[in-house]
Chains A and B, each alone.
Chain A
Amino acid sequence: MKEIVINPITRLEGHGKITIFLNDEGDVDEAYFQVPELRGFEKFCEGRRAEDLPIITPRICGVCPVAHHMASAKALDAAFNVEPPEPAKKLRELMYCGYFIYDHTLHFYYLGGPDFVVGPDAPPEKRNVLGVIEKAGLEIGKEVIKHRAYGQKITEILGGKATHPVSACIPGGFARPISEEERREIERMVRSCLEFAKFSLKLFDDIVLKNTAYVNLIKSEAYTLKTYYMGLVDKNNKVNFYDGNVRVVDPNGREFVKFSPKEYLDVIEERVEPWTYVKLPYLKKVGWKGFVDGPENGVYRVGPLGRLNAADGMATPLAQAEYERMYATLGGKPVHNTLAYHWARLIELLYAAERALELVTDPEITSRNVRNKPGKPGEGVGIVEAARGTLIHHYQLDENALAKKVNLIVATTHNVPGICMSIRDAAKALIKKGKVTDGILNMVEMAFRAYDPCFACATHFAIGRMPLEVEIYDSQKRLIQTIKR
């Protein structure tokens, strides 16, 4: 039997390893996706002061710290039984939109996008953000750098720091009201981000959707999984990143369950496997049937495509029009094509910019009324949508407002069963008779880059030069083939 190991999987945030086993015919027998790391936040958060949890938990992930900061803030609101005043909620959500702008831009242009924009068969030294710039033009490259930076700057103004913000650490409030001058600066950046989001969708149109080969790749069986989908929705069942109830739809797109944050344990269960440090969640009422798709198995997916599938639409007009266009193009709801995550991500980028503009032009946004008095400490669950999917923080506090117990289910973790299957399916479809080429391995990696997986989370620019080298061993562990790209 042959074994192929890809370690580390590059261009994703966090660590990951793929091991592919071939059978005697040289076809894929099984592929394992392993997360080789654990840090143990659920243990060492015990005993910490409540107000330190929104400071400590963002360190789970430096790519999406704002998501952890906000889930933590909302868990504390619930635990202290306090609602922040409206202006504080709006400031939090504005910061949250800034985070989505930065994160989705980072993924589309720096991490996952190169596969599409430059092309899956392009040489590795071109498959990076510089390759994107080369193909799209230097002026556009500067726009990419500028708008990712704008997203970070919005978080920095509101959160104190862009990476590991601090201002929502106060239950029932926000530490940092903004001045009219700061509001104007944010509005200027948001307007520019809105134009950039429209441009990004047009770029996707021109480079991807007008290329039949790419559209066929998106629609191909190797990149299709028929699973359940999960995402946060507002009262009209529209996508919401910051607040609302969680909705799950079945593989036919029908509502399976809708639940409030404090009910999450009725819906989600996690299992442990001996070959990976990450846990595998599934829908409790459907159960775990292994790495298979379909309505009989409780595997569900989250993140941009999961959210769009789980909702009835977008709450802003331009994003809604793009939402309708995506489903019309890909054959109606739900879309099961994993590579459509990229398209869904850009539609959300547009929504984030439109929503940020609504918030930053809200007359209340400069109010100094940003804090309500917390009640007595108790138990609370906070749920937000991180860029990569539903994020759950659950705290039990003691009478001194110290954390007694902490449970976290982070965005990428929900997608791990789906990622494992997507990698296996891509490997099975693409690797035949022991034929493993550079382009094929990249297409296996593409299966999971679509999810924008962040394994810094799950464990609690790009200047490519060096080739990927894959070694294939036979059953006696003798090196029989080396492939370089």
Chain B
Amino acid sequence: MEKPQKLKFAFYWAASCGGCEIAVLDINEKILDVIAKANIVFWPVAMDIKYKDVEAMPNKSIDVCFFNGAIRNSEQEHMAKLLRQKAKVLVAFGSCACDGSVVGLGNLWNREKIFERAYFETPSTRNPERITPQTSFKAPQGELELPEFYDTVKTLAQTVDVDYFLPGCPPPVPRVIDALDAILSGKLPPKGANLLFNKSVCDECPREKKERKITQVKRIYEINDDFKTCFLDQGVICMGPATRGGCGAQCLKANVPCTGCGGPAPRVADQGAAMISAFASIAVDPKVIEQVVDPVGTFYKYSLANSILRRRVIRE
């Protein structure tokens, strides 16, 4: 029988890849501690429960909802609003919910351009009648509905009020465990807190900084990496200085520069702007930055939707 004092958790995914769910499974046997202290009342990836059941729950009856994924369509917006209503505490879980992540790069285009590529232009697609998915379609047997695909990707906090943020793509497993421990022991920080570390990826990186001045921007495959010198010292863009840590600099330990999935570093409002300014300070000449071939995709890979840029204005 369920004991009434157990906490109630819900997990939901919007426009996301499922990697955040895997990060929860990756706590491994720790999940047994979680279910000893909490009931999971909604988790579409893993249990048989439907939207109607959530709608029937009383308001604020879920203690903590972990919401991953960005808001890309009408169904995701609806679920965000519904779960906000049902949950006492709403956690933006992962880079998509916090900052839009790579899905947010869709804001460089709009629905029309994205559909055009996916449904008309791709070389394996044969679509002479130029059919696109419709929000409502009258099939011979009855009407079929699809959610509406929006022009703009939004973060969770641009859609509803959010209590905590746990960024990362996916959030690092040790930080997921920290967050669950804090919740289960009732020791959550003040509302609005970020549950990663209050330091940058550079603070966790084992590579040696040589404080060289950058004269030329290089690509990762153009250098002879010695496996120990700071990538920026080698002229390769690394997002470490502008990115929040807590991941243990895992990518750097695999000899690949940080691409910024932890979102803006502490006290940084705009991750891309912060990186551009960090870069300018270590280049021999600020003009060196013009050598960066894809500045938006490089500096705002995970944070475009949550940046001062938000989206590209498309005029026909």
Interface residues of chain A, those whose CB is within 8 Å of chain B, are 1, 3, 6-8, 10-15, 19, 21, 29-30, 32, 34, 36-40, 42-44, 46-49, 51-52, 55-56, 58-63, 65, 80, 106, 110-111, 124, 127-129, 142, 145-146, 148-149, 152, 156, 159-167, 169-173, 175-176, 264-265, 268-277, 279, 281, 374, 394, 400-402, 407, 409, 442, 454, 456, 460-469, 471
Give every chain A residue within 8 A of B142 (Cβ-Cβ).
1, 3, 19, 21
A21 touches B102 (CB 8 A): no
A160 touches B256 (CB 8 A): yes
A3 and chain B: residue at smallest CB distance: B142
A164 touches B19 (CB 8 A): yes
Cα(A484)–Cα(B31), bound, Å:
28
Interface residues of chain B, those whose CB is within 8 Å of chain A, are 2, 13, 15-26, 28-29, 31, 35, 39-53, 72-73, 75, 101-103, 105-106, 108-109, 113-114, 117-119, 122-127, 131-134, 137, 139-142, 144, 146-147, 149, 169-170, 219-221, 225, 250-251, 253-256, 259, 261, 293-294, 296-298, 301
Cα(A472)–Cα(B139), bound, Å:
18
B53 and chain A: residue at smallest CB distance: A466
Cα(A166)–Cα(B253), bound, Å:
10
A407 touches B132 (CB 8 A): no
A288 and chain B: residue at smallest CB distance: B126
Give every chain B residue within 8 A of A13 (Cβ-Cβ).
18, 21, 45
B256 touches A274 (CB 8 A): no
Give every chain B residue within 8 A of A466 (Cβ-Cβ).
41-42, 47-49, 53
Total A-B contacts with CB atoms under 8 angstroms apart? 290
Among all A-B residue pairs, the 4 with the closest Cβ atoms? A62-B19, A160-B254, A40-B114, A21-B141
| A164-B169, A469-B53 given; A401·B219 CB < 8 A | yes
B48 touches A400 (CB 8 A): no
For the complex formed, measure the closest distance between the CB of A40 and the CB atoms of chain B, giving whole angstroms.
Answer: 4
Cα(A264)–Cα(B124), bound, Å:
9
B251 touches A43 (CB 8 A): no
16 A–B pairs (Cβ distance < 8 Å), ordered by A: A8-B44, A11-B45, A19-B144, A36-B75, A49-B297, A124-B48, A145-B29, A148-B25, A162-B22, A175-B255, A269-B126, A270-B122, A270-B125, A275-B133, A275-B146, A279-B118
A274 touches B132 (CB 8 A): yes
Cα(A370)–Cα(B102), bound, Å:
29
A159 and chain B: residue at smallest CB distance: B254
Among A47, A442, A463, point to the contact of B40 (Cβ < 8 A).
A463
Give every chain A residue within 8 A of B140 (Cβ-Cβ).
30
B79 and chain A: residue at smallest CB distance: A8
For the complex formed, measure the closest distance between the CB of B97 and the CB atoms of chain A, giving whole angstroms.
Answer: 13
B101 touches A59 (CB 8 A): yes
For the complex formed, measure the closest distance between the CB of A469 and the CB atoms of chain B, giving whole angstroms.
Answer: 5
Cα(A15)–Cα(B28), bound, Å:
24
Give every chain B residue within 8 A of A106 (Cβ-Cβ).
25
For the complex formed, measure the closest distance between the CB of A236 and the CB atoms of chain B, giving whole angstroms.
Answer: 29
A43 touches B117 (CB 8 A): yes
| A162-B26, A272-B133, A463-B40 given; A39·B15 CB < 8 A | yes
B47 touches A39 (CB 8 A): no
Give every chain A residue within 8 A of B127 (Cβ-Cβ).
271-272
| A271-B126, A281-B124, A469-B53 given; A38·B114 CB < 8 A | yes
Cα(A462)–Cα(B26), bound, Å:
13
A469 touches B114 (CB 8 A): no
